[in-house]
Structure 1
Amino acid sequence: MADQDFNMQPLPNGADTAPAVGLISQYIKDLSFENPNAPAIYQNQNAPTVDVQFNIGGAQVGDEVHEVVLKIEVRAENEGQVAFIVDLSYAGLFGFRNVPADQIQPYLLGEGPRLIFPFARRVLADAVRDGGFPPLLLEPIDFNTLYLQSQESQGQQGVAGQA
């Protein structure tokens, strides 16, 4: 049905006025794996300290089409030496039809990343494994709650700035 929703042909029985959102495509936008201290890093048997950072962006790229980019940066260090660095930008194209404008951003920054995260997580785990390390399996993330928290903190900052 998702294919039918976004071929821009009228739907039967007047259903073309109902709000609809669909994932059109998902893809690796950018992927970088660095292993700057190989092969010496493999001689250290201690587990590395891993720092993971996320960034989410959304932008309109066409009529009723938006792109969500989930950027994941990972830096692993072992006793002061960099074990590996991974930068992944994983994106999804989402089609919107009859969705109110004020509902698009919450979807792009909350629900969109939730849908593409499992696939980005697999790409990241595979890249780390292919780099000679145990796969890095990230825990699931509640992007909707993170979005609501960021909106709440921005609202509080706006009120504080007006006081």
Structure 2
Amino acid sequence: MAETGNGAEAQEPQQPPQIKMHVLAQFIRDMSFENVLAQKGVTDSNVQPEIQVQVSLDARKRTVENQYEVISKFKVTSKNKADGSAIFLLELEYGGIFRVEGVPEEQLHPYLLIECPRMLFPFIRRIVSDVTRDGGFPPLNIDTVDFLALYRQELARRAEAQKAATPAS
């Protein structure tokens, strides 16, 4: 006969909550493309583009339980290296509606601003590529965005802003 010690049965380790995420919808909320080069009538083939990509994120709870809207905003600017003149400007706001379950409340904010944009990114990359190609330029395949680093930068920026706004004692 096996001993069980003090009569307590061995307990199974508690399982972490099962995280479920479903993309319910994706959409372009706003988009603008300006081909500045064509508007100026420039046909110089010696243009050397310098591309800058700015990314910002926003998330909000929807009225339906466990549903969230996440918006990724991309601003892609191309300037000529030689003189700094604008070549094109692309602004894109791309959104997704997600049903997220099983994420602890304290981890929900980073989850929405890291994992959800990560799911949307391949579609954003495709749109940017298609729009730049259709605008008369070589297709622009933007580099993968490190949403974790972007989230950490935003937290650090907010902490600095809060520290600067708090008067010294």
TM-score range, shorter chain: 0.7 to 0.9
The partner residue of 1:143 within 147, 152, 155 is: 147
Find the aligned partners of 1:152 and 1:73 in 2 and give their Cα distance: 22
The partner residue of 1:77 within 59, 76, 79 is: 79
Q: Could you state the TM-score of these two structures normalised by the residue count of structure 1?
A: 0.77
Find the aligned partners of 2:86 and 2:149 in 1 and give their Cα distance: 32
- Who is 1:22 aligned against? 22
Residue identity in the other structure for 1:74: V
Unaligned runs of 5+ in 2: 1-16
Q: CA deviation at 1:123?
A: 0.2
Find the aligned partners of 1:41 and 1:49 in 2 and give their Cα distance: 17
Q: CA deviation at 1:72?
A: 0.5
Residue identity in the other structure for 2:71: V
What are the Cα deviations for residues 128-158 of structure 1, in whole angstroms up to 9, with x where unaligned?
0100001111111110132134324534655
Q: Could you state the TM-score of these two structures normalised by the residue count of structure 2?
A: 0.75
- Who is 1:67 aligned against? 69
Q: CA deviation at 1:41?
A: 3.0
- Residues 41 and 81 (structure 1), Cα distance of their counterparts in 2 relative to 1, 3 Å cut: farther
What are the Cα deviations for residues 76-128 of structure 1, in whole angstroms up to 9, with x where unaligned?
12234321111111111110224332222111111111111111011011100
Residue identity in the other structure for 2:22: G
Aligned length: 147
Report the identity percentage.
36
- Residues 38 and 152 (structure 1), Cα distance of their counterparts in 2 relative to 1, 3 Å cut: closer
Residue identity in the other structure for 1:105: H
Given that 1:41 and 1:83 are in contact with CA atoms closer than 8 Å, whether structure 2 keeps it comes out as no
- Who is 2:8 aligned against? none
Find the aligned partners of 2:126 and 2:33 in 1 and give their Cα distance: 14
Greater share of helix: 1
Q: CA deviation at 1:18?
A: 4.2
- Residues 149 and 76 (structure 1), Cα distance of their counterparts in 2 relative to 1, 3 Å cut: closer
Task: Give RMSD over aligned pairs.
Answer: 2.3
Three-state SS of the structure 2 residue aligned to 1:42 is: coil
Find the aligned partners of 2:74 and 2:42 in 1 and give their Cα distance: 23
Structure-to-structure mapping, 1:48-59, within 5 angstroms: 48-59=49-60
Q: Does 1:121 align with 2:131?
A: no
Unaligned runs of 5+ in 1: 1-16
